[in-house]
Structure 1
Amino acid sequence: MRVLGIGMGPQHVTPEVRDALRGCDYVVAAQKSSDDGLLALRRVVAEQHDVEVVPVPDPERDRRDPADYPGAVAAWHEARVAAYERVLRERGGTAAFLVWGDPSLYDSTIRVVERLAERLDVEYDVLPGISAPQLLAARHRIVLHQVGAPVHVTTARRLRADVAAGQTNVVVMLGGDPDLTGLEEWSIWWGANLGTDSEELVAGRVGAVAPELERARGRARAAAGWVMDVYLLRAPRRATPSLA
């Protein structure tokens, strides 16, 4: 099995990933709906290299922020492992998993493939791709961190807790509909559906650009049928955030 990062689309496939994909027998890809836009993009990448895509219906997952979030994710991963295992046992050969962005950031593919490798007694490797934070920084022509300072990477569901804990320079992934209440004086560099035809970008002081950000999210969703956003939030100097 090969876990291949494909960035935000065909234009980001590296020569290393391209060569690896051409050596695979097929691509295994989750199908989340009948009009799954991310599956369609994976098909484009695979077809450019003459590799078949085998869609696997994605098991249901509790996305209502359950009390036992790690447990809900673990159950979902187990269901994915079982679904992929059936395909891999039937087909054999070398299978590729095409990861949106880079496999190292907020993606479950490596964890799933690790368990598949144990069950099937096969080897796997991982090749990197361009990540969403990288592309966000390039689009806005910024550096994600200030001089000699760190950048904290988190998810939208953890943002408020992380800010309350003192984080002041935060990349937020798995954005959802961002709740930026209390951060009106912070700066934001935001992007949705980066690298696709429905890409949207907004930057500025949160309080000033919030209406435009909402409109941009709506345009992205209308154009693609989905929104995948990522953004950098940075506190003003000497500011003490309030999320009351």
Structure 2
Amino acid sequence: MQTLFLIGIGTGNPDHLTVEARKTLAEADLILIPRKGADRADLADLRRQIVASVLGADAPVVEFDLPRRDPALPYLKAVEDWHDRIAAVWAASIPPSAKRVALLVWGDPSLYDSTLRIAARLSPAPKVRVVPGITALQVLTAAHGIPLNTLGGDFTVTTGRRLRDHGWPQGATTLVVMLDQGAAFEVLEGSAYHIWWGAYLGMANQLLHAGRLDEVGAEIRSMRQAARAAHGWIMDIYLLRRVDA
């Protein structure tokens, strides 16, 4: 039976790779690297650099082109169709002779990532092992030097889509927002919240900004737009906390 190792690699810094992750890569028969198009070539390059830092230039790598999600379909239908096509590409890229296959996953495979759901579509089903990684949430709080929660308090992790559509979750004190397509924090009353924002966390081009939302929100939006235009893509995350907390 094949074993598929889903390896969390942090946010792009090779130093985020755990000892377990390095060992798993060294023992892999095959390492899959997705290509997301010319506008996101940096993402494949960083994966190549991470693999090379562990195994050198002769690593057993197979690259594949990641299918694009169909924007014409309703969101959930588009994602389901997209995941089916990704699983088909994986299956076509893995020869039967490869018994230990590794796939490098940004952050950690358990947090707002669909790699496990895609792996479940493979047939015949491989044994799936998760090697946990550092999450963008951890790198964000470390970069700003802040605790994730208030004293004895809880926190909520959500998406930009849900914040924009439903507003601030009832009873929440601290909110971490991931997968935001564009400044969903603008739906909030800025004077009531602090924000700690970060993009390209752990990379050489890391960006950080923080302050009361009504004072820095517009600047963060401008920084985000400029960075996306410069790089062709952006990965960012932010933490919001009520001022009265």
Q: Give the TM-score taking structure 1 as reference length.
A: 0.88
Of 123, 126, 146, 1:122 maps to: 126
Of 112, 119, 123, 1:113 maps to: 119
Q: Is the Cα contact below 8 Å between 2:154 and 2:173 reproduced in 1?
A: no
2:213 matches 1:213: no
Q: Is the Cα contact below 8 Å between 1:190 and 1:203 reproduced in 2?
A: yes
Counterpart amino acid of residue 70 in structure 2: D
- 1:197 maps to what in 2? 204
Counterpart amino acid of residue 146 in structure 1: T
Runs (4+) off by over 4 Å: none
Q: CA deviation at 1:217?
A: 1.7
Counterpart amino acid of residue 32 in structure 2: V
Helix, strand or coil at the partner of 1:115: coil
Q: Is the Cα contact below 8 Å between 2:174 and 2:241 reproduced in 1?
A: yes
- 2:21 maps to what in 1? 17
Helix, strand or coil at the partner of 1:204: strand
Q: CA deviation at 1:223?
A: 5.1
RMSD: 2.0
Question: What stretches of structure 1 of length at least 5 have no aligned partner?
Answer: 239-244
- 2:182 maps to what in 1? 177
Counterpart amino acid of residue 209 in structure 1: V
Q: CA deviation at 1:214?
A: 2.6
Q: Is the Cα contact below 8 Å between 1:61 and 1:76 reproduced in 2?
A: yes
The whole-number CA distance in structure 2 between the counterparts of 1:155 and 1:57 is 26
- 1:167 maps to what in 2? 172
2:29 matches 1:28: no
Q: Is the Cα contact below 8 Å between 1:2 and 1:95 reproduced in 2?
A: yes
Q: Is the Cα contact below 8 Å between 1:5 and 1:102 reproduced in 2?
A: yes
The whole-number CA distance in structure 2 between the counterparts of 1:235 and 1:98 is 35
2:61 matches 1:58: no
The whole-number CA distance in structure 1 between the counterparts of 2:210 and 2:135 is 19
Q: Is the Cα contact below 8 Å between 1:154 and 1:172 reproduced in 2?
A: yes
- 1:83 maps to what in 2? 89
Q: CA deviation at 1:24?
A: 0.7
Question: What stretches of structure 2 of length at least 5 have no aligned partner?
Answer: none
Q: CA deviation at 1:190?
A: 0.3
The whole-number CA distance in structure 1 between the counterparts of 2:228 and 2:97 is 36
The whole-number CA distance in structure 2 between the counterparts of 1:231 and 1:188 is 7
Q: Give the TM-score taking structure 2 as reference length.
A: 0.88
Identity %: 41
